[in-house]
Structure 1
Amino acid sequence: MTIELEKHYNKFCEDKRLTRRHGQVEYITSMKYIHECLENMTDVKILDVGAGTGRYSVQLANEGYDVTAIELVKYNLGILKSKKSTVNAMQGTALDLSRFEDNTFDMTLVFGPMYHLYKQEDKVKALEEAKRVTKVGGVILVAYIMNEYSIITHGFKGNNMKECIETGKITEDFHSVSEPEDLYDYVRIEDINGLNEEVGLRRLKLIAADGPANYMRPVLNAMDEETFELFVKYHLTTCERPELLGASSHTLDILIK
């Protein structure tokens, strides 16, 4: 799995993903809720697990926060370090945060790992580690990619549905089945709820991080700036609505220890 991820991110420009318009929606939304969580905190220590190229960790460090970043992929880590921020960045995995003591961080971000962990026990382990290193009363923000986005875009829009059913990549109730070579894993809200229950984490909010943005890439790219700002305003107004959560391509789970 590690080798496959290395190959993927050596070709995929993660640094630019969140600067494109559909990615901007996800980034703006996530930062809004990060800042909401930080409002009443002082002397904050933040851990960014699976930090990628540092889109979040570098910005938070530039805002004056004490940020530590863990990234598995050397290529991404190199880009993060090249930004010359105050982020304490190091290579590591979400499954083993043993270099950190219990109750160390006020906020822990887990924005990348759950995309790539397809085994239930690994997802549980990543959440348990995030919980362990977070202080009591601290917050853990976890990002997921949602199942219905995969079904609609890769399955139906990409015209792969019949093949996926024949090869067992999709169950009878249309839940995608991921293997290591697939790189990405897709979940439903009940899957997320089950993880939280198993690890013993309480939800503050579940957010549609990008709502319909990923489905609308050409439309967003064609918008003038004023219309795009209206779309972002619409999204931020509706991103907590429960009827829209499962259809979002990404969700952001905000949890408290």
Structure 2
Amino acid sequence: MENVISYYNSIDEGHRLNRNYSRRLEFYTTRKYVLESIKQGDVVADIGAGEGVYTFEIADKCSKAVAFDIVPKHIEKINQIKQEKNSTNIEAVQTSILDIDKKYDSSFDVVLCLGPYYHLRKKQERLASLKKCYDLLKPDGTLLISYLNRYASVSTFYKFSKFPSKEMLDEWQKDEYTKEFGFDNFMDISFCSDPEMTENELKLCNFQIEKNIGTDGMFSLVTKQMESMTEEDFENLLDFHLKNCEDRHLIGMNNHGLIICKKR
């Protein structure tokens, strides 16, 4: 996990989701489904919380929110914001998803896993992470988990005139990755799947799929062009996107997918 920590130490994760219109589309879509999934007074786990963007978005609806993250500076930032906001119902814990203490088992109405799953390149580790989410949930609890679509993710490289070799493309088709190519720092710490593969891994861990959502459309391919939009243009696009983001024919064209499922 040291390579994951090193990567996130090198970037500003706290502002990533507001950096441009494409990122905002992902954030607003994800936030909509997250807030709809949480009932007033729920206890929520935010695994891979980063600097707590979603943790603080949901805080007013939760009786308690626990933010788990592997990166020390993220936990420090959450604690800083928590103090500034005088948030008394937020706990921040430094740990990887695979090492969350068993004392939290069966504690949560909702678990958010908006990143850790796609940083596990071995299938057994991904399944172990899903089993951990299952154990953390109360009976009939809800998991929201994000994943990366390989077709859309690979397509983005070509936008920047970065052309993967055949060896890279063949590796990225597999159900687990064993090689790092130095071609892209993020890809070297990530795993890209597809909607069906992710659903199947969730089903193996006794989750019942409720929704599969594309959170950012194809718009990562036109981020530069989108920056000339007005706020009204963006609101129109967001409305259009939200009306189509659950279309099964389109989900695999999104860089980021989001699955909502229930503990069976």
Normalising by structure 1, what TM-score? 0.90
Aligned length: 249
- Matched residues, percent identical? 27
- For residues 141-171 of structure 1, the C-alpha deviation after alignment (integer angstroms, 9 at most, x for no partner) is 00011101222112x334444x521xx2222
Q: CA deviation at 1:90?
A: 0.9
* Aligned equivalents of 2:70, 2:216: Cα separation in 1: 25
* Aligned equivalents of 2:179, 2:67: Cα separation in 1: 24
Q: How does 1:161-176 map to 2 (within 5 A)?
A: 161=163, 163-165=164-166, 168-171=167-170, 175=173
Question: Which residue identity is paired with 2:13?
Answer: E
Q: How does 1:131-170 map to 2 (within 5 A)?
A: 131-154=134-157, 156-161=158-163, 163-165=164-166, 168-170=167-169
1:51 to 43, 49, 52: 49
Q: Is the 8 A contact 1:189 1:246 kept in 2?
A: yes
* Aligned equivalents of 1:212, 1:132: Cα separation in 2: 34
* Aligned equivalents of 2:55, 2:233: Cα separation in 1: 29
Secondary structure of the structure 1 residue equivalent to 2:103: coil
Q: CA deviation at 1:189?
A: 1.7
Q: Is the 8 A contact 2:41 2:61 kept in 1?
A: no
* Aligned equivalents of 1:34, 1:188: Cα separation in 2: 21
1:250 to 242, 249, 256: 256
Question: Which residue identity is paired with 2:119?
Answer: H
Question: Which residue identity is paired with 1:27?
Answer: F
1:193 has 2:199 as partner: yes
1:3 maps to: 2
Q: Given the superposition, is the C-alpha separation of residues 159 and 215 from structure 1 closer, same or farther in structure 2, using an over 3 Å criterion?
A: closer
Q: Is the 8 A contact 2:42 2:62 kept in 1?
A: no
* Aligned equivalents of 1:105, 1:99: Cα separation in 2: 12
Q: Which runs of 5+ in 2 are unaligned?
A: 181-187
Q: Which runs of 5+ in 1 are unaligned?
A: none
Secondary structure of the structure 1 residue equivalent to 2:237: helix
Q: CA deviation at 1:42?
A: 4.6
Secondary structure of the structure 1 residue equivalent to 2:49: coil
Q: Is the 8 A contact 2:111 2:144 kept in 1?
A: yes
2:184 maps to: none
The CA RMSD over aligned residues, in Å, is 1.9
* Aligned equivalents of 2:62, 2:205: Cα separation in 1: 31
Q: Given the superposition, is the C-alpha separation of residues 65 and 229 from structure 1 closer, same or farther in structure 2, using an over 3 Å criterion?
A: farther
1:111 maps to: 114
Q: Is the 8 A contact 1:9 1:75 kept in 2?
A: no
Secondary structure of the structure 1 residue equivalent to 2:51: coil
* Aligned equivalents of 1:252, 1:62: Cα separation in 2: 23
2:22 maps to: 22
* Aligned equivalents of 2:59, 2:36: Cα separation in 1: 16
Normalising by structure 2, what TM-score? 0.88
1:72 to 67, 70, 73: 70
Secondary structure of the structure 2 residue equivalent to 1:108: strand
1:89 maps to: 92
**Larger mean Cα displacement after TM superposition, 63-72 or 221-230:** 63-72
Question: Which residue identity is paired with 1:221?
Answer: E
* Aligned equivalents of 2:123, 2:200: Cα separation in 1: 10
Q: Is the 8 A contact 2:195 2:212 kept in 1?
A: no
2:245 to 220, 225, 239: 239
Q: Given the superposition, is the C-alpha separation of residues 206 and 243 from structure 1 closer, same or farther in structure 2, using an over 3 Å criterion?
A: same
* Aligned equivalents of 2:252, 2:105: Cα separation in 1: 33
Question: Which residue identity is paired with 2:113?
Answer: V
Runs of 4+ in 1 over 6 A off after TM superposition: none
- For residues 64-87 of structure 1, the C-alpha deviation after alignment (integer angstroms, 9 at most, x for no partner) is 541001100112222222112342
Q: CA deviation at 1:133?
A: 1.0
